[in-house]
Chain A
Amino acid sequence: MGSGVRNVDYRHRLAICFSIPVYKMILKPQVSDIRNIGYYLGRIILGIGLTMFLPFIMGLVLFREPNPALDFLISANITIFIGLALSWLCKTDKELNTGQAMVVIALSWLAVMALSAIPLLLSGHYKSFLDACFETMSGFTTTGLTLVQDLDHLSQSHNLWRHLGPFLGGQGIAIIAISFLVKGASGTFNLYLGEGRDEKLVPNVINTARFIWVISIVYLILGTIVLGFVGISIGLKPQSAFFHGACIFMAGFDTAGFSPQSPNILYYHSLTYEIVVILFMVIGSFNFNLHYQIWRGNFKEIWKNIETRTLLFVVMIVTLITMAGLSRLDVYSEGMTFFRKGFFQLISGQTTTGYMTIYAQQFIREWGDLALTGVIISMALGGCACSTAGGIKMLRVGIIWKAFRQDIKGMMLSPNAVVTQKFHHIKTMFIEDTQVRIVLIVTLGYLSLYALGTLVGVALGYPFLDALFESTSAAGNVGLSCGITDTSMPAVLKVTYIIEMWAGRLELMSVFALFGFIVAYVKGK
């Protein structure tokens, strides 16, 4: 089931997250809790350190960029050392419980952000360590907002790392650890839960994690080949075409929106390239469980699934809103220009990818309030649960809609009538009040997050709609920008967006768990 329909007793889970006095008092975490957290955190950090050898080897052998390659050797050594030290000092055989796993996940994303930022900072293309951290958090959370300077002269090794971040983070940092570095059944499942996922494709969570890698790597190979050949056909040199293909696929399928060149997808000036990118963005925003059903030959699931139906419906509505806004201002006068500019940006927002075929300034200066509202709605609602997409998610939107219908029906029928509402997501299920409650709480959490960033933006002097647009883009892990995200923006706003991207990617629960843990440590007895 989706992240909105978890089986775990929700009250118990919240109690763990906030250290709510279920036992009438807050219990201070013990040394064994901290050791447990430290050990698993160390393993995850170790995993990230090992992945840095890929750009190191590619930089030395393929790209012939020794200095950038050395940036990765240095960063990998620092990261691996920290990972080894943590897992050695905190060595334990205990398995993680749900609360500990959530704290591990929340901390590991912060640790990965800081350590992955080292090679980017060493590249000299970032104004500060904060900017480099912003970039890595944006990449790993598959957001795609960028603070890189002079991207067009960035080395291929660093560019590869920028795009590898979304590929690793999109599948999930915990997925890396579960697949290769962590043992134990319940501990691994708790880690898996902590990243906002709880749909097991196959009964064993380790096999589920490995299957997610298999899907992603098969798609990566296919995507790189397709985009590589399209790239050659539009005039790119073969090596450049396949490098761009791999980068664009990783950031497209993982709904991140990074690109190796500053004009983003506009760089290619090609309808074919844009169509292929749209296809990968949409595929990437689908639930991994849906991918699994398709792999098993169950194609009917696409049409029956509540998420795909909701996605289709939402896309139709936001397209109408955006089209009305653009037509009113006569921004794009032809059907084709509307498709390549209006619809592309919309799908990019809906799938929370953030690829752009227009310049950021054009959103504010040309699109007008109504069309921007359409894009903001699409970014806020986002893609499917258990995918690489962000936002509130289609499963939750679908369940809220069904629950709303159920309540309306209940009001219209006799007071004694029992009204039930079903939905289909892999299997047909009845909607339960507990599920709806969880869905509404997470939805409210996202809306609060969007509001927080908007408030900070407005307080810093940005216009309301611009601030709302950028905040929704950050918290929904989208990456479309109306121009606020820039190296010159205030540090407070950079930190706010980092927090939004982090909390949005983890669907808030793990972040709450971390704060609960800190409170328990300080105030607990």
Chain B
Amino acid sequence: MKSLFFFATLCLTLGISNSYAQTSTSLDLLNNAKQYDGKTVNYKGEVIGDVMIRGDFAWLHVNDAIIAIGIWAPKAMVQDIRYAGNYHKKGDIIKVSGVFHRSCLEHGGDLDIHALGINRITSGSLVIQPLSRKKVYIGGCSLILVLLFYALKKLLQGR
């Protein structure tokens, strides 16, 4: 009972002093990097680009529509991520809980978050881009015009 009480107090103390329960924005983290340095933060956004596997860990980037921040996570934690955003895909929206580093000594001074947990909030999807008929018409017509113009130019120059 005594040890349980001690553990609960410790968690509460650490929770108050060393973490930010609310979700932080990338701008907030960047603008107050020194205050957040070494603290546990929550950060939410879309996974973009590539998930780069490095041994038992992986790098991924999460963009909260302002800036993308690098997340260093154990490989097992990123296995649920199905979509990383690019032109063809809308990436998964995830919430990362992790330790924020203004200048991570483990990664050559990178500003990053070492993930303690990742929750997938919304699954991403493939983005189907229907062929724009307007662009096809404009592209086709302008190509014909240019070819006709070139032919006319050659014809008149030949005379």
Contacts and interface: CB of A to CB of B under 8 A. Distances in A.
A269 B53 CA distance: 12
Contacts of A153: 48, 85-87
B13 interface: no
Please indicate which of the listed interface residues B53, B59, B63, B87 has the most CB atoms of chain A within 10 Å of its own CB: B87
Interface in A15-68: 65-68
B150 A271 contact: no
A262 B131 contact: no
**Top 6 nearest A-B pairs by Cβ distance?**
A235-B52, A337-B109, A77-B142, A340-B108, A70-B135, A152-B48
B110 interface: yes
A78 B33 contact: no
Please indicate which of the listed interface residues A67, A80, A268, A269 has the most CB atoms of chain B within 10 Å of its own CB: A269
Interface of B is mostly: mixed
A70 B54 CA distance: 38
A80 B146 contact: yes
Given A67-B129, A156-B87, A84 B146 contact: yes
A368 interface: no
B25 interface: no
Interface string A93-137: 000000000000000000000000000001000000000000000
Contact of A70 (B52, B107, B136): B136
B132 A70 contact: yes
B38 interface: no
Interface in B98-137: 102-103, 105, 107-112, 129, 131-132, 135-136
Interface string B44-68: 0000111111100011010100011
30 contacts: A66-B129, A67-B135, A73-B142, A77-B139, A77-B142, A77-B145, A81-B149, A84-B149, A84-B150, A152-B61, A152-B63, A153-B85, A234-B54, A235-B52, A235-B54, A236-B50, A240-B50, A261-B48, A263-B61, A267-B70, A332-B103, A333-B103, A339-B108, A340-B108, A340-B109, A341-B103, A362-B30, A362-B33, A362-B111, A366-B102
Please indicate which of the listed interface residues A152, A154, A156, A234 has the most CB atoms of chain B within 10 Å of its own CB: A152
Interface of A is mostly: helix
Contacts of A337: 103, 105, 108-109
Interface string B2-13: 000000000000
Interface of B: 27, 30-31, 33-34, 48-54, 58-59, 61, 63, 67-70, 72, 85-87, 102-103, 105, 107-112, 129, 131-132, 135-136, 138-139, 142-143, 145-146, 149-150, 153
Contacts of A152: 48-49, 61, 63, 68, 85-86
Please indicate which of the listed interface residues B109, B138, B150 has the most CB atoms of chain A within 10 Å of its own CB: B109
A305 to B, nearest CB: 32
A348 to B, nearest CB: 15
Contact of A266 (B27, B110, B129, B135): B110
A68 B86 CA distance: 14
Interface string A252-268: 00000000011100111
B146 A263 contact: no
A523 to B, nearest CB: 36
B30 A365 contact: yes
A448 interface: no
Contacts of A266: 70, 110-111
A60 to B, nearest CB: 11
Nearest to A483: B30
Nearest to A334: B105
A84 B153 contact: yes
B110 A269 contact: yes
A6 B112 CA distance: 49
Contacts of B112: 269
